[in-house]
Amino acid sequence: MGNQPSAIQFQPAIDARNDKLEDATHLRYLATEESKFIRESDQEAETARLQGHISAAEEIEKQADIHRLRMHEHNQAAAKAIFLANNPSRDSHVLLTHGLSSNEAIPLVRDHLARLYNIDSIKHIVILTGLDVIPQDVIETFWPAAERAMRDFDVDIQCNKPSDGVIYIRFGDSNGGDSSDNLLSQDFLQSDLPSGRHDDDSPWSGMFTASKSTEDMMNKWSGVAVGAAALFGSAAVAAMLNKLRNTHQVDANDIIKECLGNIKERGKAVNAYISVEDRDYLQQQASEAQTRWLKGQSKSVLDGVPIAIKDNICTERMKTTCGSKMLQDFQSPYDATVIKLLRKAGALIIAKANMDQFGMGSANVYSHFGHVNNPQNTDGHFHLSMESLPSHKRSAGGSSGGSAAAVASDLCFAALGSDTGGSVRLPASYCGVVGFKPSYGRISRRGLVAYANSLDTIGILTKDVADVELLYGILSKYDNQDPTSMLPDLRERIEQEFAQHYDDLDQDSLKGIRIGIPQEYRVQELNESIVNIWEAGIRQLKELGAEIVPISLPHTQYALPAYYILALAEASSNLARFDGMRYGYSDDNQESDLLYADTRTEGFGSEVKRRIMMGTFVLSSGLYEEHFLPAQKLRRLVQQDFNDVFSLPNPLLENAVADLNNMKKVHAILTPSAISTAPSINSSIPEADNPKHHSKIKAVDAFVNDVMTVPASLAGIPAITVPGGVSRVDGWPVGLQLLSQYGDERTLLHIANQFQKSSS
């Protein structure tokens, strides 16, 4: 990336260009008209529904869908016209992807093309924003053309300068929905016109102007453009960032600008954030960070790096809502320990991320601030789908859905989430990013609003395992304000006891590593396409030199019920403090004796109330012995399962000894992170919460989504999900999960890193 890009200039014939632009303007007008019609139709349909005229409503909706398709056609044509206007000789080179946010697509396109054409040095990608939804027939006819286009493109590249490819890609906007207004953004139109001005606030302006002249391109690309493309698009973000910074090729001011631009552009559509930090404050912080960088006095590798925080981690600045009405205006008087550590490292706390209320949910449909939409709108192979029609919106996963979506759509560089039973790993898997849950007690929970204290951990979401390592290094500190924080001498002891094993790790391969495949994770609910990805992952690890060992974790089937009994019992207790007395929502218009009941009835969402009731039930006198105690016993059995298969001893157990040479014991375990790709949002909302849709979906149906992730939570062991590939069936990403012994984050991150490097 350090190389300067080559210059490629296009000089379309002016007349033809103007014609095309006129066409585009007209087409865009038509699309806008359609959009108005659709909006009206939707309203009519809604009214009809409310009045009980279901069939009429359906008819209107059907009509609206036709117009929706037409709108997309117009948009499609307009986009094409624009492109043709600018690149008359390259119309066949337009590469359409849909739904993927631009930043996510960069590495995918690059890698895809690199593999396809065996070019290992496609260095720059120019992105044009705008298109929304592409109808199925367009996909079908267009995809072969696009493939051809790429081939042609390749030839062109080779003709121009084989080693420095520039690919023009037309990206879809991930908004979904009725967003014709931004289909062809002003930015796009104007930035590519020779006389056009460009909006400096537009995140992509640098990109567009880059095509205007060599000089512009050189200037811009050495700054924001390279920064953005390199940072967001590349895998090892922080490592890259440091490299760029040390050569002064990227500027903290530009990075924050970039993020804020992305938030402005697609923040609403993804709905990943509940609060965003004050712009001036962020810019000032960034500028201070940049000054430190220039002086060579940066606080850490994260100095000036924007990081999003799940909204159940307390911050003095910005509200801490936990995604709930109960705390919708809650301002924490203190910073969580992780926030203190991040601030000390110079990181910029850019925003508070959306989440399922109080961490309760696996699809992020239980937020008081609206659903999080999965920004990952394609499988990375650039075929287009109907998926982003409103009714087909996919879930970002939960409960750290906002954190995962923010990382996936480049609204930040990394995010913190919380993982109680998979709340970091599941959304990371659905959104195609890396999600890491450390051993219980590694990272301080002080300031994390408790869901189930004995299971809660703060987790890290990034695009790359190497970045997880950087953040983990900063956050993994003993905290005397967290009574469950791993004690300094245990941390020390782990390092010493595992030292020999760590010395044996091979930096560039997985030689000597044994990885277990637990048969019990092949549950009935596990999607076949996921099994395929799992198998591919196993092959990949083998290629890296790891030895694959079939293992058995016999109590896995009890993990899920045990988890839900323990977690909900603790949750019902933890949430007792939200009574509206000292802070938070309070129902003021009440007869005094019902103050608590009314406050809690109104302040908590449906799922929270269901879980409180279930938790209260299992703690009731008599049932405690029947449910809670057996669940605790099962939890110990699940822990025992893991201790039985790991070759490193559990440092929490006295008398445990290393069994490094036992070939049946393993260093890590590989499983899928989820039983499916991201489910649609509609299918994640239980009938109880949306009685109009007779979906027959029960609230507890969603519990099964956690089946892959809860055993590690019960055992307190570290776990990480790394993008494993995309489903053959629907093209959506899914993650593979690696697990290791308690305290053995190092082996885990080493394997994950090797795995991810070899995937790209």
Partner 1 sequence: MFRCTIFYASKSASPNAHILRRGLQTRANGWNAIIGLEIHAQIDTRTKLFSDTLTSFNSPVNTNISVVDAAFPGVQPTLNEKCVELAVKTAIALGSTINKRSTFDRKHYFYPDLPQGYQITQHFKPIANGGVLPLLEKDGISKPMQVRIEQVQLEQDTGKSMHDMRPNMTLLDLNRAGSGLMEIVTKPDMRSALEAGQFVKKLQALLRSVGSSNANMEEGSFRCDVNVSVHKHGEEWGTRCELKNLNSVRFISAAIDAEIERQIEVLQSGGRIDQETRGYDVENGKTFRLRGKETAHDYRYMPEPDLPTLILTEEYIETLRNNMPELPDAKWSRMVKQYSLSDHDATVLLSEAGAAEYFETVCKGRPPKLVVNWMTHELFGQIASKGVSFSANPVSADQLGSIVDLVQSGAITGMTAKNVLKIMVDETQPRLALDIVEEKGWKKVGDESKLREMCLALMNQNPDKVASIRSGNTKLATWLIGQIMRDTRGLADPVALNKVLEEALGVKLDVPSNNMSQGKSKKSKKSQLSK
Segment near partner 1 (CB under 8 A), from 20-28, 325-333, 507-515, 704-712? Answer: 325-333
Among 47, 160, 481, 662, binds partner 1 (CB under 8 A): 481
Q: Of 399, 429, 586, 684, which residue is the catalytic one? A: 399
Minimum CB distance to partner 1, residue 592 (Å) = 8
Q: Closer CB to partner 1, residue 334 or residue 502?
A: 334
Choice from 9, 11, 524, 592 touching partner 1 (CB under 8 A): 592
CB closer to partner 1 out of 222 and 616? 616
Report the length, in residues, of the chain.
760
Q: List the one residue from 224, 322, 470, 675 that touches partner 1 (CB under 8 A).
A: 322
Q: Say whether residue 447 binds partner 1 (CB under 8 A).
A: yes
With CB under 8 A as the contact rule, which of the stretches 193-201, 319-327, 659-667, 682-690 interacts with partner 1?
319-327
Considering only 451-459, 470-478, 686-694, 738-746, which stretch makes contact with partner 1 by CB under 8 A?
451-459
Q: In what order do the strands lie in the sheet with 166-172?
A: 95-97, 166-172, 124-131
| Residue selected from 96, 412, 448, 513 as contacting partner 1 according to rule CB under 8 A | 448
The nearest distance, CB 478 to partner 1, in angstroms, is: 13
Q: Does 581 bind partner 1 (CB under 8 A)?
A: yes
Task: Take residue 253 and report the two structure tokens written for it.
Answer: 């001011």
Residue type, 158: Q
Please name every residue paired with 680 in a beta bridge, in sequence order, or none if there are none. 394
> According to the binding rule CB under 8 A, does residue 453 interact with partner 1?
yes
Residue found under tokens 């494993």: 724
Q: How close are the terminal C-alpha atoms of the chain, in Å? A: 16
Cβ neighbours, 10 Å, residue 243: 15
Rank residues 32 and 453 by Cβ distance to partner 1 and give the closer one: 453
Among candidate residues 555, 578, 576, 691, the one with its CA nearest the CA of residue 631:
555
Answer yes or no: are the C-beta atoms of 357 and 323 closer than 8 Å: yes
Nearest to 314 by CA among 297, 338, 290, 296: 338
Q: Within 13 Å of residue 358, how many CA atoms lie on the same side as its CB?
A: 28
The encoded tokens of residue 501 equal 């094993």
Identified binder of partner 1 from the candidate list 582, 692, 694, 696, rule CB under 8 A: 582
Cβ atoms of 163 and 121 closer than 8 Å: yes
Identified binder of partner 1 from the candidate list 394, 446, 555, 665, rule CB under 8 A:
446
Question: Counting contacts by CB under 8 A, is residue 327 touching partner 1?
Answer: yes
Count interface residues toward partner 1 (CB under 8 A).
Answer: 45
Among 328, 573, 643, 690, binds partner 1 (CB under 8 A): 573
Measure the CA–CA gap between 720 and 744, rounded to whole angstroms. 12
Q: What are phi and psi of 129, to 5 degrees?
A: -85, 170
C-beta of 416 vs 738, nearer to partner 1: 416
- Whether 308 and 273 have beta carbons less than 8 Å apart is answered as yes
Tokens of 464: 């790359």
- Determine, following the binding rule CB under 8 A, whether residue 480 of this chain makes contact with partner 1: yes
Considering beta carbons, is residue 327 or 749 the nearer one to partner 1?
A: 327
When asked if residue 320 is in the footprint of partner 1 (CB under 8 A), the reply is yes
Query: Are the C-beta atoms of residues 481 and 337 closer than 8 Å to each other?
Result: yes
| Least Å from the CB of residue 311 to partner 1 | 11
Among 257, 310, 393, 665, the active-site one is: 310
Q: Are 412 and 307 contacting, i.e. CB atoms less than 8 angstroms apart? A: yes
Biggest CA-to-CA distance, the chain: 84
The C-alpha atoms of residue 414 and residue 420 are separated, in whole angstroms, by 19
Indicate the DSSP class of residue 10. Answer: -
Confirm or reject binding of residue 449 to partner 1 (CB under 8 A).
yes
Q: Does 579 bind partner 1 (CB under 8 A)?
A: yes
What count of other Cβ atoms lies within 10 Å of the Cβ of residue 279?
A: 13
Stretch that binds partner 1, among 280-288, 322-330, 380-388, 744-752 (CB under 8 A): 322-330
Shortest distance, position 407 Cβ to partner 1, whole Å: 23
**423 tagged catalytic:** yes
Residue closer to partner 1 (CB basis): 204 or 330: 330
Q: 550, exposed or middle or buried, with CB in 10 Å at 0-12, 13-18, 19+? A: exposed
Q: What is the dihedral of CA 673, 631, 400, 667, to 10 degrees?
A: -40
Closest to partner 1 by CB, 312 vs 403, is 312
H or E element that contains 721: strand 719-726
Task: Find the shortest distance in angstroms from Cβ 327 to partner 1.
Answer: 7
Near partner 1 in 413-432, by CB under 8 A: none
Residues 611-630 that bind partner 1 (CB under 8 A): 616, 619-621, 624, 628
Given candidates 125, 126, 207, 314, which one binds partner 1 under the rule CB under 8 A?
314
- Establish if 491 lies at the interface with partner 1 (CB under 8 A): no
We find the least distance from the C-beta atom of residue 282 to partner 1, in angstroms, to be 24
Site for partner 1 in 45-104 (CB under 8 A): none
Q: Which of 10, 143, 478, 583: binder of partner 1 (CB under 8 A)? A: 583
Binding segment (CB under 8 A) for partner 1, from list 11-19, 385-393, 477-485, 507-515 = 477-485
**DSSP annotation of 487:** P
Instruction: Say whether 310 is catalytic.
Output: yes
State the minimum distance, in angstroms, from the CB of residue 651 to partner 1.
15
Q: Indicate the SS3 state at residue 724.
A: strand
d(CA 443, CA 493): 17
Residue 649 in contact with residue 659, Cβ under 8 Å? yes
Residue 577 binding partner 1, by CB under 8 A = yes
DSSP state of 524: T
d(CA 340, CA 347): 10
Q: Which of 32, 484, 680, 683 binds partner 1 (CB under 8 A)?
A: 484
Residue 374 near residue 430, CB atoms below 8 Å: yes
Q: Which residue has the tokens 């890396």?
A: 434
Contact status, residue 355 vs residue 323, Cβ threshold 8 Å:
yes
Stretch of 138-146, 275-283, 442-450, 751-759 lying at the interface with partner 1 (CB under 8 A)? 442-450
Question: What is the SS3 string spanning 109-178?
Answer: HHHHHHHHHCCCCCCEEEEEEEECCCCHHHHHHHHHHHHHHHHHHHHHHHHHCCCCCEEEEEEECCCCCC
**Segment lying near partner 1 (by CB under 8 A), choices 53-61, 384-392, 516-524, 566-574:** 566-574
Is 482 a binding residue for partner 1 by CB under 8 A? The answer is yes
Euclidean distance between CA atoms 284 and 261, whole angstroms: 16
Taking CB under 8 A as the binding criterion, the range among 43-51, 53-61, 448-456, 644-652 that sits at the site for partner 1 is 448-456
The answer to whether residue 452 forms part of the interface with partner 1 (CB under 8 A) is yes
- Taking CB under 8 A as the criterion, which residues in 623-682 touch partner 1? 624, 628
User: Could you say whether residue 348 binds partner 1 (CB under 8 A)?
Assistant: no
Beta carbons within 10 angstroms of residue 284's beta carbon: 13
Q: Cα–Cα distance between 754 and 509 in angstroms, integer?
A: 7
Based on the shown chain and the rule CB under 8 A, indicate whether residue 570 belongs to the binding site for partner 1. Answer: yes
CB of 490 to partner 1, least distance (A): 12
Which is closer to partner 1, CB of 581 or CB of 700? 581
Min dist CB 353 to partner 1, Å, is 16
Catalytic residue of the set 174, 423, 586, 713: 423
| Residue with Cβ nearer partner 1 (396 or 571) | 571
Give me the amino acid identity at 5: P
CB of 519 to partner 1, least distance (A): 32
Q: How far apart are CA 166 and CA 7, in angstroms?
A: 9
Residues near partner 1 (CB under 8 A) are 312-314, 320, 322, 327, 330, 332-334, 336, 445-450, 452-454, 480-484, 569-570, 572-573, 575-579, 581-583, 592, 596, 616, 619-621, 624, 628
Give the catalytic positions in this structure. Answer: 310, 399, 423
